[in-house]
Amino acid sequence: MKKSITNFAFTRSDKTLLQQGTWYSAYQKLGAHPAFYKKENGVFFSVWAPHAKKVNLLLCSDAPKRNPMPMMRRQGGVWELFVPGVKTGDSYRFSVLGADGVTRCKADPFAFSSELRPARASVVADLNTYVWQDGEYLSASRNRDLPHSPMAVYEVHLGSWKRDHSVSPSGFLSYRELAPALAEYVCSMGYTHVELIGICEHPFDGSWGYQCTGFFAPTSRYGMPDDFRFFVDTLHQAGIGVILDWVPAHFPKDDFSLSRFDGTPLYEPADPLFAEIPCWGTLAFDHSKPEVRSFLISSAIYWMKEFHIDAIRTDAVAAMLYRSFGRNQWSPNKYGGEDYLEGMLFLRQLTGAVHLLTDGVMIAEDSSILPGITLPVAQGGYGFDFKWNLGWMNDTLIFFDKDPIFRRYHHECLTHTADYAFQERWILPLSHDEVVHCKRTMLGKMPGQPAWQYAGLMQLYLLQLAHPGKKLLFMGQEFAEKREWDENREINWALAKKPGHRDVRRCICDLFKLYKQYSCLYAFDDDARSFQWINRHDADRNIIAFLRKKPDSMDGALLFLFNFSPVEYAAYSCGVPLPGVYRQIYSTVNPGENRTLSAKRTPSDGCSYTLKPGLKGFEALIFELPQPKQRKKP
């Protein structure tokens, strides 16, 4: 039901919140909203352009004789206009005469929908037409303790996950076509969440959505906003959580977007040394401006409230921590340092507002070594729920990239990740960034002949399972994709049924079943007592062994053994903490093998008992420790 224009008029209270940086519901008034006035239906338009000399509304899909339509300036630099006869689906722009005397044609910063690129106009959309069916999922998720629950994330780019050129020239499937197929697939694989890249509207496909122009608009490549709501709804009804990649650090320089919106550096800093991020060729957001903070935090809350997004993965957090990020020349803060103080305050305000107003989860993609990213704000941290463990990804892949004969010299890359495994609440990513730009696929990173590569990849995935932290894998890598990712083509699904590739895919399914079955693999990721080395120093043989367990008990504990060389060690033995029968529950070489071994009362590796499982070349093993009734008194 359409609301009266009085529901959207900018008030003195709105002005106060906007200028304090705390107007977290700004999207409910700014932008284009279907409304009525004097019994006429139409659309109420509103835009913030405080330094503009004049703002006109341009209706792109209406008769030219109605253009331009002058908007009325209100308090706080907001311009408003009600236009009868305009309806959902009509496109529009703002013609802004800036403070510098230049007229610019701008898209609406608060647009809820946009034309398909290369068109640039905004599109009127209604926030109140979709009927959600995910109430049961939402009720369950509110009571879920995610840090202590299984979390296996499938990172997806919808435009290249599946394509069909018989449907459209681009081959893009719609949100409604993709939803049931993706829901069925991730459920069959054992994932708990999908993470979507490239959803916020963006003009250039090659940016993958990380140079965003639509902070409130799902990309029109796959449909309209209600189609995306259907997509999220469908995944929720299948029990799958949805994570959205979101970029509050920077935006592209495109003239039609936020750049010099009212003839001044409105969204970007005025300081020329700080206005750009040269390494990306983009403009930085000025987080010192309260209105910019209102804009960005409103965007985060909008996605969670209006699209039921479960979590937001905040991109490029390091760019909001350091003034020097991506810059050869930079201006210091007021204390003479490189810390971006305003960005730090923004991040704390962002996570605080999201947690106060929604049930959403905040994830940091952060390449810095600054501590406390996942520490609560009240304790001096930044309030994120999780942080991507880019150090683990980088160091682990350095090790796996080496020929086995040289891995002994890089053994510490593999083992020292456990030294900081409990400093934050981590997600262990094997992401899209690692399979592009000549970095090779996950399979391609594995050295040696094909059989070695498949075996090595399964070891990598088992190591990811065993290491403390939640799990994330980019699409295609679950079946050992051979081609680097290209956003312009579908991943190579034909490989998934071929020998080697299907073994890797089956391995992923098996591992996620074990992940959900054994609480020691997910419930204690923030407790250092849940991890115990058995052998971290056997670099010459490329072997490691460790336990995952409950912090104060061995009940349900698991022993992990890895041989990262092609050499078989038939007589290999390792120390174990308990007597009794150890049950093998997985082998990357013989997945179906079930055997039991008894521990001998012989000291080894600092333990009182010894197990002699042997290790085949490139084998990783999981043993379940003896249950209480199996144990014999020493």
Cβ-based neighbours of 412, under 8 Å, separated by 6 or more? none
Structural tokens at position 309: 């997004």
Of the candidates 317, 322, 127, 107, which has an alpha carbon nearest to the alpha carbon of residue 215? 107
Q: Which stretches of 484-530 are assigned E, i.e. beta strand?
A: none
Alpha carbons 342 and 65: distance in angstroms, whole number:
46
Hey, what's the torsion of the CAs at 452, 457, 460, 461, to 10 degrees? -140
Burial status of residue 583 (CB atoms within 10 A of its CB: 0-12, 13-18, 19 or more): middle
Cβ-based neighbours of 612, under 8 Å, separated by 6 or more? 571, 572, 573, 597, 600
Active site residue 365: yes
Q: What is the DSSP string of 194-245?
A: EEEES-EE-S-GGGTTSS-SEEEEE-GGG--HHHHHHHHHHHHHTT-EEEEE
Alpha carbons 359 and 134: distance in angstroms, whole number:
15
Of the candidates 354, 353, 297, which has an alpha carbon nearest to the alpha carbon of residue 320? 297
Structural tokens at position 584: 């093998």
Structural tokens at position 52: 């503009």
Active site residue 90: no
Burial status of residue 627 (CB atoms within 10 A of its CB: 0-12, 13-18, 19 or more): middle
Return the number of other C-beta atoms located less than 10 Å from residue 505's C-beta: 17
Q: Which of 14, 291, 315, 395 is catalytic?
A: 315
Residues 292/267, Cβ–Cβ less than 8 Å: yes
Alpha carbons 132 and 229: distance in angstroms, whole number:
8
Of the candidates 492, 493, 488, which has an alpha carbon nearest to the alpha carbon of residue 198? 488
**How many Cα neighbours within 13 Å face the side chain of 431?**
19
Residue 172, beta-bridge partner list? 163
Q: Which of 365, 478, 538, 624 is catalytic?
A: 365
Q: Catalogue the active-site residues.
A: 315, 365
